[in-house]
Amino acid sequence: MSKSNNKTGFIFKKFEPKSQSIFDRLLEIFKELITHTSGDFDEAIDWLKQLDKEYRLTNDDYTIEDFIEELKEKGYIREELGGDGNGNIALTAKTEQAIRQQALKQIFGKIKRNGMGNHKSNKQGFGDEHTGDFRAFQFGDSIEKISVTESLKNAQINHGINEFSLSEDDLVLEETFHKSQMSTVLMVDISHSMILYGEDRITPAKKVAMALSEFIKTRYPKDSIEIMVFGNDAWPIAIKDLPYLKVGPYHTNTVAGLSLAMDMLRRKRNTNKQIFMITDGKPSCIREKDGSYYKNSNGLDPYITNQCYAMAQQARRLHIPITTFMIAQDPYLMEFVKQFTQANKGKAFYTGLQNLGEMIFEDYETNRRKRIK
């Protein structure tokens, strides 16, 4: 009886990307435009038509009107009656989730390309979260930590595939960490400066909020994230409403934002809590006890900033670190954040708009990881 000459192994082929339909290509662009227009369907379609004229995104067999009809058929949009009695087009929950997923894909994909994200470690912990890092098995290591798949690969590489053999030298372990549950409040500045000076700062901030919420929901479902915005006042917003977020004719009431953020975190049972704040300007507004607003946009006003520092110290006493992400190089803002960070013993980053997502994702992963030595 002759032996079989069948061999196992890997076959490598040149990657061939899947071709996109016209609908899929237009949908990617539409999701981007709807974020920039804060959910305004008509404005997004107008922009799409202009892009179509310039770049010929459609053809005679498939037009923008066909795209709109397919959006309806696939449940991305719906017609509803407006307050004026006229029919309007509204986004569905399916589209809202698709926008969040696209934001996550854009930001998280960029992190992978840049090599940012989880920090590698040469120390093992006994935990329930896998890091993707491996090391050689050592005497005394727990058998449960052995990666069977990687160990078998080593055996094939070291001993060949004709006669299977597995030795102790082939065994590898996957590193793990304990990761504690985390409650996060993300503060987003919606003061008028977020769209001033010809720079759209609110859209990148919205994308980060959408991406981070989708990331936590899918990767760390036991964690919680809540989003709130602050201008003259502060108020929470639902994650599903993020695509519609707009700036207003507001000053920057950082105290109101911090007060609400801490109130939101007090209701959480998790031991680990944190505040992320995205802002492009120094505090310039505060609400008095009589309901009136004290506003001053000139320099750093101690009447306003001292109350911010007091809030930072209060958060520190509650063991709530605050990480500030500055998306503008304003000297007054940088001086304020320096003092503010010292009062809270938190962290601050000047990120710019391009690196905002990467910095927030990396800091989130770093903060929630508790390494057990």
* Span 44-57, pLDDT tens digits: 999 999 999 999 99
β pairing state of 182-189 and 272-279: parallel
CA 322, CA 270: separation in Å to the nearest integer? 16
pLDDT over 90 at 271, yes or no: no
Range 349-367 average pLDDT:
83
CA 188, CA 165: separation in Å to the nearest integer? 57
Place of tokens 């379609």: 45
pLDDT over 70 at 121, yes or no: no
- The least confident of 40-49, 73-82, 127-136 is 127-136
Nearest to 233 by CA among 256, 260, 255, 263: 256
So what's the pLDDT on residue 366? 83
Distance of CA 91 to CAs 8, 235, 244, Å?
Answer: 50, 23, 10
Distance of CA 109 to CAs 104, 117, 218, 277, Å?
Answer: 8, 11, 15, 23
Residue bearing the bigger pLDDT, 139 or 65: 65
- Residue 65 makes CB contacts below 8 A (sequence gap 6+) with none
Range 87-101 average pLDDT:
93
Q: Which two tokens stand for residue 138?
A: 């050592």
Q: What digits encode the pLDDT tens for the residues 297-332?
A: 999 999 999 999 999 999 999 999 999 999 888 899
So what's the pLDDT on residue 144? 73
Nearest to 238 by CA among 223, 247, 227: 227
- Residue 48 makes CB contacts below 8 A (sequence gap 6+) with 26, 29, 30, 33, 57, 64, 67
Q: What digits encode the pLDDT tens for the residues 141-185?
A: 777 778 888 888 888 887 777 777 788 788 888 766 555 689 999
At residue 110 the predicted structure's pLDDT band, cuts being 50, 70 and 90, is low
Query: What average pLDDT is seen over the chain?
Result: 85
So what's the pLDDT on residue 113? 52
So what's the pLDDT on residue 59? 95
CB 327 within 8 A of CB 356: yes
Residue bearing the bigger pLDDT, 289 or 365: 289
CA 216, CA 360: separation in Å to the nearest integer? 12
- % the chain with pLDDT above 90: 58
Q: What is the CA radius of gyration of the chain?
A: 26
CA 111, CA 98: separation in Å to the nearest integer? 20
So what's the pLDDT on residue 117? 36
CB 358 within 8 A of CB 116: yes
Give long-range contacts, CB 8 A cutoff, 24+ apart: 267-272: 268/183, 268/224, 270/180, 270/181, 270/182, 270/183, 270/223, 270/224, 271/180, 271/181, 272/180, 272/181, 272/182, 272/183, 272/367, 272/368
